[in-house]
Every structure is written in C-alpha cells, then in structure tokens.
Chain A
Amino acid sequence: MLVLTRKLGESIVIGNNVRVTVLEMQGKQIRLGIEAPPEVSVHRGEVYERIETENRLAAETANTDLKSLTDVWKLKGGPKKQ
C-alpha cells in the first residue's frame, strides 16, 4: 500500500482524472472531497465490501431449490407480474 501524508487542503491525484482532497479534520474524522468522472464509481469502503460479500453468497447459493418460496408466492396470489 502506498502511504502519503497530506495536510488540510492538499490532495492526491489518481490516474489522470481522479482527485481526492482533504477538506476537514475533526478528531478522528476526516472529510474528503472526491472529483472523478461519472463512469468512475466512488463508494464508502464498507458499503462496497458488504455488497461484494453478499454477491458472493448469492452466487454460491443460487442453485438452492426455490420451490418452497414460489409456492408461498402462489398461495398468496403474490403480486402479479406486470
């Protein structure tokens, strides 16, 4: 991992189109400003990791039998497909 020290107001540039600036520091919290083109998605690390973990679990279990669930759906006359 590359480690850089930055002061308030300073930034780092990633590639040629992403800039991350330190905007504010307060106790243990740091506010970062991120400038990136629209096709680059920016996520909070923990949110992205949670989704990645869930995707892996979903892919591993995708071949489980669905029947008991679709039966409940039919029984309820579940919301019809539009």
Chain B
Amino acid sequence: MAEDVIRFSHVRFGDQEVARDKVITFPDGIPGFESYKLYALFDDPDSEPFQWLLSTDSPRLGFVVVNPLFVWPDYNPKISRDDLTTLGVEKSEDILLFCIVTLADDPAHVTVNLSGPLVVNSVKRKARQLALLDDRYITKHKILEAIQQV
C-alpha cells in the first residue's frame, strides 16, 4: 500500500511530512521554477497571517505566501474560464487564492505580487500561477502600507 504521507525536508523548518492528499500540484510548475511541481502549504503559527509554500522536492525552495484578501479586501483578479477548466474547478468556493510575498530586511520594503496570483483548486489540489493582464495590479505592492490602512 502506498504511504499516505510524503516526507520532505526544508532548510528552515527541517524534516516535515504532509498527507499525500494535501500536496498541491502545479502541473506547469511556477515560472522560474518550472521543474518543481509538488508543494506543501505549511503553517507557522509565529508567522500568521503568512504561510509557506514549500517544495517537497527541494529543501531550498519555498515561497512565503499570503491570502491577498486579508490585506486587500477588494482584490479581484479575473480568472479565465480556461484557467478554471484546466484546474478542474467546479464551484468558485473551491478556489483558494494566494499571492507570493517578496521579503526584505526592512518591513517597509516587503512586497506582494498581486499580478501573479496562485490559484488553487482546493478539492483537486491542482494549482497554477496566473499572469494577469490587469493594470490595477503589479508585482510589487507594499504590504506594510496596506496593513496600516486596513
């Protein structure tokens, strides 16, 4: 019988395991890291509301992510029908949305990429990073300013 957990290791969080049915697959990878397809969403209570998207294939690959709606409640990326079809989304409630955070030593310089949201089908655990054609959103939205305005 196949094991129901996948064990992986990460430079920051050490040895970890994730239930096989919780692994998120990016069939095309993430632009810049196309060869890594499998990720685990990792919660670190000290870092809320941020979460980590850790590659289960490389201990050095991980992204800090945030649900953009926590910080930008009006965030409304257009997800095309083609993207929904590819991800096998049946109901919009099944969609989870994350944006990648680019950290910096100075919190005032920490930015969030609202132009390339990660769309996850939470049922099928399939995901893709979009590249929005929307002038409202750029790759570097300062999060500190936004938090202070929420």
Q: Which residues of A contact B (CB under 8 A)?
A: 38-39, 41, 43-44, 47-48, 50-59, 61-70, 72-73, 76, 78-79, 81
Contact = CB atoms under 8 A, between A and B. Distances in A.
Interface string B105-137: 101001001011000000000001101110000
Interface of B: 11-12, 27-28, 30-33, 46-50, 52, 61-64, 70-71, 73, 81-83, 85-86, 100-105, 107, 110, 113, 115-116, 128-129, 131-133, 139-140, 143-144, 147-148, 150
Nearest to A66: B47
B70 A54 contact: no
A21 to B, nearest CB: 18
A59 B49 contact: no
Contacts of B82: 38-39
Given A47-B133, A69-B107, A52 B32 contact: yes
Given A44-B133, A69-B143, A58 B48 contact: no
Given A61-B104, A81-B49, A81-B70, A55 B32 contact: yes
